Amino acid sequence: MKQKRFLLTEDRIPRQWYNIQADMPVKPLPMLNPSTGQPVKAEDLYPIFAEEACRQELDTEHRWFDIPEEVVEQYAYYRATPLVRAYGMEKELDTPAHIYFKNESVSPVGSHKLNSALAQAYYCKMEGVTNVTTETGAGQWGTALSYAARLFGLEAAVYQVRISYEQKPYRRSMMQVFGAQVTPSPSMSTRAGKDILTKSPHHQGSLGTAISEAVELARMTPGCKYTLGSVMNHVTLHQTVIGLEAEKQMELAGEYPDVVIACFGGGSNFGGISFPFMRHVFSGERKTRFVAAEPESCPKLTKGEFRYDFGDTAGYTPLMPMFSLGHEFTPANIHAGGLRYHGAGVIASQLLKDGYMEAADISQHDSFAAGCMFARCEGIIPAPESCHAIAATVKEALKCKESGESKVLLFNLSGHGLVDMSAYDQFLAGNI
Ligand SMILES: *Cc1c(COP(=O)(O)O)cnc(C)c1O
Q: Which of 102-116, 155-169, 248-262 has the lowest mean pLDDT?
A: 155-169
Q: Is 272 in the pocket of ligand 1 (CB under 6 A)?
A: no
* 316 CA to centre of ligand 1 in angstroms: 23
What number is the average pLDDT over the span 153-170? 92
More confident residue, 363 or 328: 363
Burial of 96 (0-12, 13-18, 19+ CB in 10 A): middle
On the question of pLDDT at 292 being above 50, the answer is yes
**pLDDT mean across residues, the chain:** 94
pLDDT in tens, 178-219: 999 999 999 999 999 999 999 999 998 888 889 999 999 999
Quote the CA–CA distance of 264 and 245 in Å, as a whole number. Answer: 20
The answer to whether 250 and 83 have CB atoms below 8 angstroms apart is yes
Ligand 1 atom 3, closest CA:
338
Number of other residues whose CB lies within 10 A of the CB of residue 405: 12
Cβ 338 under 6 angstroms from ligand 1: yes
Q: Give the pLDDT of residue 10.
A: 53
Give SS3 for 191.
helix
Q: From the CB of 266, is ligand 1 less than 6 Å away?
A: yes
pLDDT higher than threshold 60 for residue 313:
yes
Specify the ligand 1 atom closest to the Cα of 110.
Answer: 13
Instruction: In whole angstroms, give the CA distance from residue 154 to residue 131.
Output: 5
pTM: predicted TM-score of the whole model, two decimal places: 0.96
pLDDT at 432 over 60: yes
What is the atom index within ligand 1 of the atom nearest the CA of 236? 7
pLDDT digits (tens, 9 = 90+) for 138-147: 899 999 999 9
* Contact call for residues 371 and 382 (beta carbons, < 8 A): yes
Q: Decide if 157 contacts 183 (C-beta within 8 A).
A: yes
Q: Report whether pLDDT(235) > 60.
A: yes
For the CA of 137, the closest atom of ligand 1 is 1
* Residue 58 CB less than 6 A away from ligand 1: no
3 C-alpha to center of ligand 1: Å? Answer: 34
Distances (CA, A) of 261 to 341, 407, 409: 19, 13, 8
